[in-house]
Amino acid sequence: MVQFAADAVMTTRAIKLIVLDRDGVINRDSDQFIKTPDEWRPIPGSLEAIARLNHAGFRVVVATNQSGIGRGLFDMAMLNAIHEKMHRALALAGGRLEAVFYCPHTADAECECRKPKPGILREIGRRFGVDMSGVPCIGDSLRDLQAAEAVGAQPMLVLTGKGEKTLREGNFPKNTVIFPDLAFAASALLAGD
């Protein structure tokens, strides 16, 4: 079952949607997980990139695996506090997220919402009334790219977080577009808009 942090309002008109992974794309990642608001630190330029996308009419959504919940490393109240810090920081930069969708399960659960499975992206498409074909999905790990490919979205790899490791290991979808970070990805998307 897909869980989400904010209800998205379905719309009947075409919208410009972009899906971002959280850790390693918007904020710095940690092998020990981001467990508190103090550990959540934005990657330089990421918040401003989201604001630029918003101002150009993009609706920005986060899709993130948060297995730290399933592992007992933090609870829902702490995840909400982390996301509240992210929302406040984004607002100060002039940006916003439409919704944060997350999977709280560990890999052992084999749920459909944990990337690389595409359940979380399918739910985003359903909630927003959008065919996910061609929707930019930006991540730093192979599982982000595989989930995007599974729904026909456009996989985009950033080299922040685990991105350089993902690039070195290869085996990502052949149509993956690669950028140094979210700011570069946003500039490319805005130039082609």
Q: Is 38 an annotated catalytic residue?
A: no
Query: Using one digit for the tens of pLDDT, what is the confidence trace for 48-60?
Result: 999 999 999 999 9
Q: CA 89, 92, 98: angle at the middle one, nearest 5?
A: 65
pLDDT at position 107: 87
> What are the sequence ranges of the domains in the chain?
15-191
pTM over 0.85: yes
Query: Given 23, 29, 140, 144, which residue is catalytic?
Result: 23
The Cα 41–Cα 35 span in angstroms is: 12
How far apart (Å, rounded) are the C-alpha atoms in residues 60 and 178?
19
Look up the CATH superfamily of 15-191: HAD superfamily/HAD-like (3.40.50.1000)
The confidence score (pLDDT) of residue 151 equals 98
Mean local confidence (pLDDT), 71-91: 96
Catalytic residue among 7, 21, 29, 75: 21
Residue 6 pLDDT class (50, 70, 90 cuts): very low
pLDDT one-digit tens code per residue, 62-79: 999 999 999 999 999 999
User: How much of the chain exceeds pLDDT 70, in percent?
Assistant: 93
Q: How confident is the model at residue 192 (pLDDT cuts 50, 70, 90)?
A: confident
What are φ and ψ of residue 27, in 5° steps? Answer: -125, 165
CA distance 73 to 32: 9
Q: What angle do CA 24, 166, 49 make, to 5 degrees?
A: 35
Write b or e for each residue in 93-132: b if 16 or more Cβ atoms lie within 10 A of its Cβ, otherwise e. Answer: bebebbbbbbbbbbeeeebebbbebbbbbbbbbebbebeb
Which of 40-44, 45-49, 66-70, 122-126 comes out lowest in average pLDDT?
A: 66-70
| 140 is known as an active-site residue | no
- For residues 184 and 167, what is the distance between their CA atoms, to the nearest angstrom? 16
Q: How confident is the model at residue 8 (pLDDT cuts 50, 70, 90)?
A: very low
